[in-house]
Structure 1
Amino acid sequence: MNISVIGGGVIGVSCALYLARAGVKVRLFTGKELGSGASGRSLSWLNASGPWPADYYNLRMAGIDRFRSLYCKNTHVDWLKFNGGVFLSDQDEVRKWYSIEKERGYDSHLFQPEDVNSIDAKINPAAIGPYGIYNAGEGWVSLPELIECLVSEFLTLNGTVIENAGKTVPIFDAEGATKGVVSQKQGEYLCDKVLLACGASTSKLVAELGVDLPDGSVLSMVAITEPFDNRPSVVLNTPKVAMRPNPGNSLVIDHSWYVNEIKEDENGVCSVPEHIVEQLLSEADRLLKSDVPITLAGYKAGWKPVPADGFPVLGELQEMPGCYVAFTHSGATLSLIVGELVSWEMTTGKSHPMLASFRPGRFKS
């Protein structure tokens, strides 16, 4: 079997690797460099916390499981850690999340301000409300390094990576079945099946092929700090700021409250008002016990892939036999399990029950 994957983010790379592990000949096409889209600017918090529907919760838990397996083989790396996560919000929401998590058997612990430094000594107790939640089994991953790790194995399995290919799209035979891809820089390449894993561009691409895949993608921004000695080891998710450790002793910081203030120019370059970045860093400073303020190394902004209903879109497009799609928010948590299950479907021709709720056809009226 010969398969083309379009998309060089973590979802596309993971799918390509799992296909190669199955003995398939795989070519991975990416319009620019690997990881140059949303995967290069992700908080990438590995979690299944909160009031998710059961099928999505189960998929996220499977995703975390695959990362724990990867971590067991790579405990020495600085880009994948399982030091837990802290969730802060108003008292009612904290109690709601805690109740749901305990009912599911999630490793969830309610704590008060005076307890927080037993979880992480770098957190400021004065910034904690009446209660917070500590999820001991959560972690984080830096996706650029993960992509490098996955691509390294992919190449040893004789996979082919074609970077800077320009726009790449599937092509079809007279009966409407997938027969290959064509790219701006590489021309036509024939294959048996194609996977579209193009992040926030996925809906636009399939629309050009005549398929409606509703899109809820939003502009987003993450800030990266200078090296910071007093950084926490846990992931923090709060009403005004989310943060995690990052390789190089820095922090990655983001949130969603400022998305409407991010601007994109005619060349696709995004900018964020200076006061937004300053406020985000100020919120981060407030959470930490440190007399030294966090300083900015830079920020990255662009489109965050989000299907219209917020849930993954995974599987074969009914309108185009042999053409599959993998379009999802939470690309970090889901990247390895999506790669495993979508590649299994592509190579076996079977449908995996864990993906039943996430088919592209659910948007049809």
Structure 2
Amino acid sequence: MTSSTARVVVLGGGILGVSTAAHLARSGASVDLVTEAAPASGASGRSLAWLNSAGPRSAAYHSLRAVALDRWRTLAHREDLRHAVRFDGGLTWAAPGASHRERHAHELSIGYDSRWLAPGEVARWTPGVDPAAVAEEGAVFNPGEGWADLPTVVAVLLERFRADGGRLRTGAGPARVVVAGGRARGVRTASGEVLDADAVVLATGAAVPRDLAGLGVAVPEDTPVALLVETEPVGHALRAVLNTPRVAVRPTPAGTLVLDSGWAEREVVVHGDPLDGRHEVRERTVEGLLAEASRVMAGNPPLRAARRGVGPKPIPGDGEPVAGPVGAVPGLHVLFTHSGATLGVVLGEFTAREVLTGEPVPLLAPFRPERFA
């Protein structure tokens, strides 16, 4: 298909879906972006949104993430998103009895910018951290890492999408891919309206495996129910993303902090289906996150919760992204990944290219859905 005649429907209003729709519309395609609820109301609205390629991972995955960080810097410059996309580094240290020395050595071996800091050196490299909280062995600081305020970025991309002729349909409820003659032909919304298309992009976050299963395609998932807590505005000097043994912390453009942690995630009580059921967050969990965050912040400021977001966090079964055409359903492309924040911009670019040209992007070759067949 050609860019000027292609009709594409994108399902999903998070960073992956919106980025894909924006790239398609900019290339001249006729694009409908369909969201179940409001844009960025799912995982993109409750993400720590740490932009990184830290730690050990496959070489192919690291390469993709490295390119993704480049695209984030380009977007931030082009759209003047300095308030919502920051590259002020990431700081992490190990739990008692563990060490990050091997991680640091690995990062150095692949050329990833990684500095080993003694506790007393932390303040010189990245302000806002209590050195007394840092592990005695020291910490790893990655100067090239950053964070994004995804709802703000999604809103900017939607403005571009509309300016390029894209059509946004919000609050459409659960939509389904229409398959006829052995290929994807469009999308049916919850109201029964059918949007015809030459290609469909499925980027419905944690619902992707269920949506694909309805088409006879299996993609394993390891999706938990996650919790993100946002504080009230607080005076602080923190600029980097902190990943500590008990809490991850990042600043926001509004002067608040957002917090999450694996232990807090495991304390969420799930009633019914994780995708559609009710999620119960105990007050002790929220208070525990606030206390852990205060402990690692310079001056140990009192923190109060202003908002909490709870819901499924998309994670493929093998931990690596799922991106590209679905062989069993020609005309259908899928995006499903844990690292939606880091990969959001570049996967949108690459998916739009593959949809419109039919030419595979080599960097995506290891991440095709067919690997699970």
TM-score (normalised: structure 2)? 0.94
Pairing 1:25–2:57 present = no
Is 1:38–1:199's contact at 8 Å kept on the other side of the alignment? yes
SS at match of 1:258: helix
Q: Distance in 1 between matches of 2:46 and 2:142?
A: 24
Q: What's the CA shift for 1:215?
A: 1.3
Equivalent residue number for residue 154 of structure 1: 161
Is 2:232–2:256's contact at 8 Å kept on the other side of the alignment? yes
Q: What's the CA shift for 1:180?
A: 1.2
Q: Are the structure 2 counterparts of residues 287 and 100 from structure 1 closer, same or farther at C-alpha, using a change threshold of 3 Å?
A: same
Is 2:324–2:369's contact at 8 Å kept on the other side of the alignment? yes
Is 1:110–1:133's contact at 8 Å kept on the other side of the alignment? yes
Equivalent residue number for residue 333 of structure 1: 342
Q: What's the CA shift for 1:73?
A: 2.9
Equivalent residue number for residue 283 of structure 1: 292
Equivalent residue number for residue 181 of structure 1: 187
Q: Are the structure 2 counterparts of residues 284 and 231 from structure 1 closer, same or farther at C-alpha, using a change threshold of 3 Å?
A: farther
1:6 to 3, 8, 11: 11
RMSD value over aligned CA atoms? 1.4
- TM-superposition CA deviations, 1:189-226 (whole Å, max 9, x none): 11101010000000001111111111111100000001
Is 1:231–1:245's contact at 8 Å kept on the other side of the alignment? no
Aligned residue type for 2:180: D
Map 1:86-235 onto structure 2 (within 5 A). 86-90=91-95, 93-129=99-135, 130-174=137-181, 176-185=182-191, 187-235=193-241
Q: Are the structure 2 counterparts of residues 340 and 76 from structure 1 closer, same or farther at C-alpha, using a change threshold of 3 Å?
A: closer
Map 1:278-357 onto structure 2 (within 5 A). 278-357=287-366
Q: What's the CA shift for 1:352?
A: 0.9
Q: What's the CA shift for 1:77?
A: 3.8
SS at match of 1:49: coil
Q: What's the CA shift for 1:76?
A: 6.0
Pairing 1:49–2:49 present = no
Q: What's the CA shift for 1:239?
A: 1.3
Q: What's the CA shift for 1:45?
A: 0.5
Equivalent residue number for residue 3 of structure 2: none
SS at match of 2:263: coil
Is 1:231–1:250's contact at 8 Å kept on the other side of the alignment? no
Q: Distance in 1 between matches of 2:322 and 2:220?
A: 10
Equivalent residue number for residue 358 of structure 1: 367
Q: Distance in 2 between matches of 1:322 and 1:181?
A: 12
Name the stretch that deviates more: 331-340 or 263-272.
263-272
Q: Distance in 2 between matches of 1:260 and 1:78?
A: 32
Aligned residue type for 2:288: Q
SS at match of 1:214: coil
Q: Percent identity?
A: 38
Q: Distance in 2 between matches of 1:12 and 1:76?
A: 19
SS at match of 2:22: helix
1:78 to 76, 83, 107: 83
Equivalent residue number for residue 243 of structure 1: 249
SS at match of 1:350: coil
SS at match of 1:106: coil
Q: Distance in 2 between matches of 1:133 and 1:201?
A: 35
SS at match of 2:122: helix
Is 2:264–2:289's contact at 8 Å kept on the other side of the alignment? no
Q: Distance in 1 between matches of 2:265 and 2:144?
A: 29
Q: What's the CA shift for 1:257?
A: 1.7
SS at match of 1:247: coil
Q: Distance in 2 between matches of 1:167 and 1:73?
A: 34
Q: Distance in 2 between matches of 1:24 and 1:93?
A: 50
Q: What's the CA shift for 1:51?
A: 0.4
Q: What's the CA shift for 1:145?
A: 0.2
Is 1:32–1:166's contact at 8 Å kept on the other side of the alignment? yes
Aligned residue type for 2:323: L
Aligned residue-pair number: 363
Q: Distance in 2 between matches of 1:112 and 1:103?
A: 21
Q: Distance in 1 between matches of 2:238 and 2:347?
A: 30
Residue ranges of structure 2 left out of the alignment (5+ in a row) = 1-5
Aligned residue type for 1:254: D
Q: Distance in 2 between matches of 1:23 and 1:76?
A: 24
Q: Distance in 1 between matches of 2:32 and 2:160?
A: 14
